[in-house]
Structure 1
């Protein structure tokens, strides 16, 4: 299985992708970890070709879980994926998550990618995840919905999660689908839950 987890900034993509990867024992590819270099150097801006090369190489593996929304590699990742999990939560859910995450990271001096750490003063910048999440929420939803209507993604199994509780069911479904086919996994999930899991 090749699973991509998408959603706007702060939706919880990496957290869910890690859960799925651990449950299914698949390698986890975090696009942020590939992009952000030491000193917050943005690889997509400074060397886009190298970023695309690294991601393209990573997704050649037979199975993986990827999380991220990077435009330069979106089609490459999606066309290689077998399943897509879309965290399409309401704006207030996203904002609560991204604000809490940023405050904890800054307060605890959490080490992120390549030794980078969030700082309080960064929250004042227009490009900070808090402001980016607020501005991009509606646009990201429209872009994702439109892109998924394209014929090239007709064979992609899409799980659109609109409520936080659906994440657990999505993990259960994917774990079952890893052992059997998608239709059987849906049937097994329905028997376990007493109803068919709904993801859209």
Structure 2
């Protein structure tokens, strides 16, 4: 496990697990949202995004943990990944975590990523671009999509680990810690 991608629906804890796993395995942590988002919620054009992603992956030649997966980045990431960890939690767990995280971020007003000025806002939470609307729309789609990808012969070189609860993820992380000691 040297090249790892953590996937799951928003609010599942991808970034938290990715940071912890990268630290325990002494791998580079690559935050995909930090590479994608520019100031004022503008997305990087594909060429710029791919360049930043490739540069980050190449700079971490001893290994990396990437949190998240955008459709546009699948080919680049999954051509090099050896392990994909899917945080496949229930809708209610994801919704609870997303609500807690989003409210905290809206109250704290801290920038979300170091490379942009983006912050959670009350206005955004209740807009057509709401992360909550996105979750309601994408949760079932992601579940079907990830299941299909796991069965796709194109990705048979990848070890898939499906964690279905935060408790299972904690046990997994503890096992990783025990292995590295």
TM-score (norm 2): 0.90
2:151, 2:79 → 1: CA distance?
A: 13
2:112, 2:163 → 1: CA distance?
A: 26
1:112–1:127 distance in 2 versus 1, CA, 3 Å: same
Find the counterpart in structure 2 of residue 2 from structure 1. 3
How many pairs are equivalent? Answer: 176
| Contact 2:8–2:88 under 8 Å retained in 1 | yes
Find the counterpart in structure 1 of residue 156 from structure 2. 154
Q: How does 1:4-83 map to 2 (within 5 A)?
A: 4-43=5-44, 47-60=45-58, 61-62=60-61, 63-83=63-83
Find the counterpart in structure 2 of residue 87 from structure 1. 87
**Structure 2: unaligned runs, 5 residues or longer:** none
Q: What's the C-alpha RMSD, in Å, of the aligned pairs?
A: 1.6
Query: Is the partner of 1:81 in helix, strand or coil?
Result: coil
| Contact 2:7–2:85 under 8 Å retained in 1 | yes
2:79, 2:171 → 1: CA distance?
A: 24
| Contact 1:86–1:160 under 8 Å retained in 2 | yes
2:30, 2:176 → 1: CA distance?
A: 17
1:146–1:169 distance in 2 versus 1, CA, 3 Å: same
TM-score (norm 1): 0.82
Larger radius of gyration: 1
1:141-185 C-alpha deviation (Å, 9 max, x unpaired):
101110121112212111101111011222234456668xxxxxx
